[in-house]
């Protein structure tokens, strides 16, 4: 245990109460806990960056039976995508000092099976991006635009939820590929971010528009070749009404609040799919697991070249994780919300 | 005009009245007309086989504005897919005796631009199949199962409208590719035809089933990998509820009665598409124009080998075209309805 600063108190943040509506400080509780013993074959992790996402709210409901097994249990630590450092190892493949990421508990220190983590290459980009730009959100953007969307120069691409962690990268990859890119978002600040900072051709504030179908038509005089959909519902219908022949519609795994037992009703898309010989395809990033390394390399290269802008909204301090999460529902923050909860020990690498 | 038997009276069948409900004999009128003069660059055709399809009913409505320009005008000849022989030619690419097909008027003789026809290779299969098994229906089946569906040995394929001219070929091509094939149809006679004559693994009579979703589940214990949909609506939903991961759903251009202005409502498919990383794709055969010749060659080979069974229901006599068409809506005929209206002049070839 030579690598743990023995003066630091280990802590956890648990789900203290099921929230109703927007979570409050009562939803969570911070406890002092013992420093964990490292188990056989596991590694001891120190949390460095914790990611919070609005989608986690759905896992906090009482009795919510989530298919992906993401439900949080009362009085157990919350989990979320986290970047951590190995500070002790009982596994030959992981060395002290290695940076890893995975869905870890909100704990300063924890012993974790190596099956539940992946190594982070710190030479690619800042290590915090391992759970954002180089993690599931960035990979979803990459494979959605390139593998599902088959984006080609000169095509028109519409991205819904364009200021989000997936949408903002999807829109930029489409722009890099020479497409005309239209982003949909929900605030003037986000519109300015998309048009000015990310170089998106046109951004539409759906809250300021009465007729989305007409707004898309006006923004896409040549029709829509690729639709990267993060939202669904009536926004889907408005964009879908403008698709071109041979359009590709990437249905991204980030659509919130779809209730599997009772899918919402909407216009059947079959007739338009036939008329336009168009394709609608769902995907999750793990469909493309074999291409992860290449994709991360490419995204990192674009990021380091300045072709992709990726913003983080960084808060410091383990105890501030609950406030950072709660803030997702009130603020108009742009950029991926991250909490820095520890320092990387450079001398261990 | 040496090639026309001058004793034969040319005739046409026109749309005399817009039908309401099922067409009647009053819907049509047969007129004696003059033998046509062959125009510059055109060819003079003698009709041999006329095809009638239920889908033509939609083009007979008053003021029905069909996107594909298929609407029939009052007091003008009906048109349908027809196999004809060139009996005089003002075009160097078409010789007297050539067999052609196209959407021609219900006339015994007519002069037609060569842009509106394709040559038939009489060595492939009986020439009547040029507008059925080797025409749009057969090609839709071929490209839907192979190009859209990407059928692979051991996969489970469901075909709706399986006893129809498209579905029956789609089901057989899937069977040839080593798939387990489940067909859906609407009569005991059709079920027997599918299982006994076409060698389909299992056929489901949807009129005898209360819970189609459960029936599909029972017939597809390993789930559905490919769904070739000719029908849509609730039958789509029942099959769709059983799709596997990476399922492909070919939405065929044969779905009847979709009203483009007001598409019917149904459960939104996005959530299931994401969950299963599945694909829904619309198509028309002309998307694959470059592959037509290869496809026809392959279908004809399967037909001549006995791997594909293709039945025609043949009626003789030009004057019987209306009755043959009307019969589509009352009968339980199995096989493509065709009318033989003339003899091929073998000596002209």
Task: Give the per-residue pLDDT at A349.
Answer: 45
Q: Cite the beta strand spans of A169-311 per DSSP E.
A: 180-185, 202-205, 224-229, 243-251, 265-267, 279-282
pLDDT above 70: residue A5? no
* Contact yes or no for A279 and B275 at CB 8 A: no
* Contact yes or no for A270 and B236 at CB 8 A: yes
If you average pLDDT over every residue of chain A, what do you get? 91
Answer whether B90's CB lies under 8 Å from B42's CB: yes
* Contact yes or no for A270 and B67 at CB 8 A: no
pLDDT above 50: residue B1? no
Query: Which of A68-82, A208-222, B63-77, B87-101 bottoms out in mean pLDDT, i.e. has the lowest?
Result: B63-77
- Percent of the residues in chain A that have a pLDDT greater than 70, as a whole number: 91
Cβ-proximal residues to A241 (8 Å cutoff; 6+ apart), any chain: A213, A216, A217, A272
Written as six digits, the tokens of A52 are 């919070």
Q: Cite the beta strand spans of A167-300 per DSSP E.
A: 180-185, 202-205, 224-229, 243-251, 265-267, 279-282
Q: What is the DSSP code (8-state) at residue A55?
A: G
Cβ-proximal residues to A40 (8 Å cutoff; 6+ apart), any chain: A90
The phi-psi region of residue A306 (left if phi > 0; otherwise alpha if psi is between -120 and 50; otherwise beta) is left
CA atoms within 13 A on the CB side of A135: 24
Cβ-proximal residues to B321 (8 Å cutoff; 6+ apart), any chain: B13, B28, B50, B52, B106, B339, B341
Q: How confident is the model at residue B68 (pLDDT cuts 50, 70, 90)?
A: low
Cβ-proximal residues to B286 (8 Å cutoff; 6+ apart), any chain: none
State whether residue A168 is helix, strand or coil: helix
Q: How far apart are CA B330 and CA B21, in angstroms?
A: 12
Q: How confident is the model at residue B328 (pLDDT cuts 50, 70, 90)?
A: confident
Written as six digits, the tokens of B258 are 């979709």
In this complex, the residue of B252, B264, B273 whose CB is nearest that of residue A282 is B273
Q: How far is residue B50 from each of residues B12, B13, B130, B328, measured CA to CA in Å?
A: 13, 12, 11, 14
Smallest CA–CA distance, residue B257 to chain A, in Å, is: 10
Q: How far apart are CA B237 and CA B291, in angstroms?
A: 32
Q: How far apart are CA A281 and CA B107, in angstroms?
A: 46
pLDDT tens, residue by residue, A339-348: 999 999 875 4
* Contact yes or no for A255 and B278 at CB 8 A: no
Q: How confident is the model at residue A68 (pLDDT cuts 50, 70, 90)?
A: low
pLDDT tens, residue by residue, A213-224: 999 999 999 999
Answer whether A275's CB lies under 8 Å from B282's CB: yes
Q: How far apart are CA A261 and CA A73, in angstroms?
A: 22
- Nearest chain B residue to A233 by CA: give it: B268
pLDDT tens, residue by residue, B160-195: 999 988 999 999 999 999 999 999 999 999 999 999
Q: How confident is the model at residue B255 (pLDDT cuts 50, 70, 90)?
A: low
- Percent of the residues in chain B that have a pLDDT greater than 70, as a whole number: 91
Could you tell me which residues of chain B have a Cβ less than 8 Å from any Cβ in chain A? Answer: 67, 229, 232-233, 236, 246, 251-253, 255, 258, 260, 263-284, 287
The predicted model gives B116-131 an average pLDDT of 96
* Contact yes or no for A274 and B251 at CB 8 A: yes
Q: Which residues of B touch A279 (CB under 8 A)?
A: 279-282
State whether residue B307 is helix, strand or coil: coil
Q: Quote the radius of gyration of chain B (alpha carbons, Å).
A: 21
pLDDT tens, residue by residue, A120-152: 999 999 999 999 999 999 999 999 999 999 999
* Contact yes or no for B258 and A270 at CB 8 A: yes
Beta strands A336-340 and A312-316, pairing class: parallel
Interchain CB contacts (distance < 8 Å): A and B:
117
Q: What is the CATH number of domain A136-305?
A: 3.40.50.720
Q: The CATH number of B10-132+311-348 is which of 3.30.70.100, 3.20.20.190, 3.90.180.10, 3.30.70.1110?
A: 3.90.180.10
State whether residue B149 is helix, strand or coil: coil
Q: How far apart are CA B100 and CA B326, in angstroms?
A: 26
Burial grade of B208 (CB within 10 A; 0-12, 13-18, 19 or more): exposed
In this complex, the residue of A251, A265, A276 whose CB is nearest that of residue B265 is A265
Could you tell me which residues of chain A have a Cβ less than 8 Å from any Cβ in chain B? Answer: 67, 229, 232-233, 236, 246, 251-253, 255, 258, 260, 263-284, 287
Q: Which residues of A touch B251 (CB under 8 A)?
A: 270, 273-274
Task: At B85, give phi and psi (nearest 5°).
Answer: -120, 140
Q: How confident is the model at residue A258 (pLDDT cuts 50, 70, 90)?
A: very low
**Superfamily of the domain at A10-132+310-348:** Medium-chain alcohol dehydrogenases, catalytic domain (3.90.180.10)
Q: Which residues of B touch A287 (CB under 8 A)?
A: 246, 277
* Contact yes or no for B269 and A278 at CB 8 A: no
The predicted model gives B283-290 an average pLDDT of 94
Substitution target from A252, A274, A276, A288 for chain B, most B beta carbons within 10 A: A274
Task: Give the per-residue pLDDT at B99.
Answer: 98
pLDDT above 90: residue B61? no
* Contact yes or no for A282 and B277 at CB 8 A: yes
Q: How far apart are CA B271 and CA B294, in angstroms?
A: 37
Q: Which of B271, B155, B153 is nearest to B223 (CA)?
A: B155
pLDDT tens, residue by residue, A71-89: 899 999 999 999 999 999 9
b/e B25-38 (16+ beta carbons within 10 angstroms → b): eebbeeeebebbeb
pTM of the model: 0.89
* Contact yes or no for B275 and A67 at CB 8 A: yes
Q: How far apart are the first and last CA of chain A?
A: 16
Query: Which of A11-25, A182-196, A292-306, B326-340 bottoms out in mean pLDDT, i.e. has the lowest?
Result: B326-340
State whether residue A318 is helix, strand or coil: helix
Of B235 and B254, the structure prediction assigns the larger pLDDT to: B235
pLDDT tens, residue by residue, A218-252: 999 999 999 999 988 899 999 999 999 999 999 98
Burial grade of B246 (CB within 10 A; 0-12, 13-18, 19 or more): middle
In this complex, the residue of A253, A265, A281 whose CB is nearest that of residue B268 is A265
Smallest CA–CA distance, residue B188 to chain A, in Å, is: 29
Q: Which residues of A touch B67 (CB under 8 A)?
A: 275
Task: Give the per-residue pLDDT at A169.
Answer: 97
Q: How far apart are CA B43 and CA B111, in angstroms?
A: 6
Q: In residues, how long is chain B? A: 349
pLDDT above 80: residue A26? yes
pLDDT above 80: residue A67? no
Element (H, E) at A293: helix A292-305
pLDDT tens, residue by residue, A159-194: 999 998 899 999 999 999 999 999 999 999 999 999
pLDDT above 50: residue B306? yes
In this complex, the residue of B232, B266, B273 whose CB is nearest that of residue A281 is B273
Of B20 and A170, the structure prediction assigns the larger pLDDT to: A170
Q: How confident is the model at residue B331 (pLDDT cuts 50, 70, 90)?
A: low
Beta strands B336-340 and B42-51, pairing class: antiparallel
* Contact yes or no for B264 and A267 at CB 8 A: yes
In this complex, the residue of A67, A258, A277 whose CB is nearest that of residue B282 is A277
Burial grade of B160 (CB within 10 A; 0-12, 13-18, 19 or more): buried
In chain B, where the domains are located:
10-132+311-348, 136-305
Smallest CA–CA distance, residue A32 to chain B, in Å, is: 39
Q: Which of B317, B304, B295 is nearest to B136 (CA)?
A: B295
DSSP bridge partners of A313? A337
Q: What is the DSSP code (8-state) at residue A86?
A: E
* Contact yes or no for B277 and A283 at CB 8 A: yes
* Contact yes or no for B268 and A270 at CB 8 A: no
* Contact yes or no for A229 and B270 at CB 8 A: yes
pLDDT above 90: residue B86? yes
The predicted model gives B290-307 an average pLDDT of 97
């Amino acid at each position: 245990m030579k690598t743990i600063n023995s003066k630091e108190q280990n802590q956890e943040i648990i789900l203290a109460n099921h929230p109703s509506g927007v979570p409050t400080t009562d939803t969570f509780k911070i406890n002092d806990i013992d420093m964990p013993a490292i188990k056989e074959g596991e590694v001891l992790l120190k949390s460095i960056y914790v990611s919070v996402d609005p989608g986690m709210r759905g896992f906090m409901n009482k009795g919510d039976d989530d298919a992906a097994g993401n439900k949080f249990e009362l009085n157990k630590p919350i989990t979320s995508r986290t970047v951590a450092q190995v500070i002790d190892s009982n596994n030959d493949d992981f060395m002290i000092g290695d940076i890893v990421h995975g869905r870890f508990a909100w704990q300063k220190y924890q012993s974790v099976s190596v099956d539940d983590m992946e190594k982070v290459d710190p030479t690619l980009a800042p290590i915090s991006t391992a759970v954002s730009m180089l993690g599931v959100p960035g990979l979803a953007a990459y494979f959605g635009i390139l593998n599902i969307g088959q984006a080609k120069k000169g095509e028109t691409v519409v991205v819904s939820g364009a200021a989000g962690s997936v949408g903002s990268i999807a829109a930029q990859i489409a722009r890099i590929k020479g497409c005309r890119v239209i982003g949909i978002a929900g605030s003037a600040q986000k519109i300015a971010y998309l048009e000015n900072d990310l170089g998106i051709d046109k951004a539409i504030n759906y809250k300021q528009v009465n007729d989305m179908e007409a707004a898309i038509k006006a923004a896409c005089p040549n029709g829509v070749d690729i639709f990267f959909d993060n939202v669904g519902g009536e926004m889907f219908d408005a964009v879908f009404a403008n698709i071109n022949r041979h359009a590709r519609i990437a249905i991204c795994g980030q659509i919130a609040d779809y209730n599997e037992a009772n899918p919402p009703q909407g216009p059947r898309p079959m007739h338009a799919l036939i008329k336009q010989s168009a394709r609608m395809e769902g995907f999750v990033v793990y469909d493309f697991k074999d291409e992860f390394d290449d994709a991360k390399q490419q995204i990192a290269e674009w990021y380091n070249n300045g072709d992709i802008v990726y913003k983080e909204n960084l808060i410091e301090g383990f105890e501030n994780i609950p406030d950072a999460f709660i803030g997702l529902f009130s603020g108009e923050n742009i950029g991926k919300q991250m909490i820095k909860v520890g320092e990387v020990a450079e001398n261990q690498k």
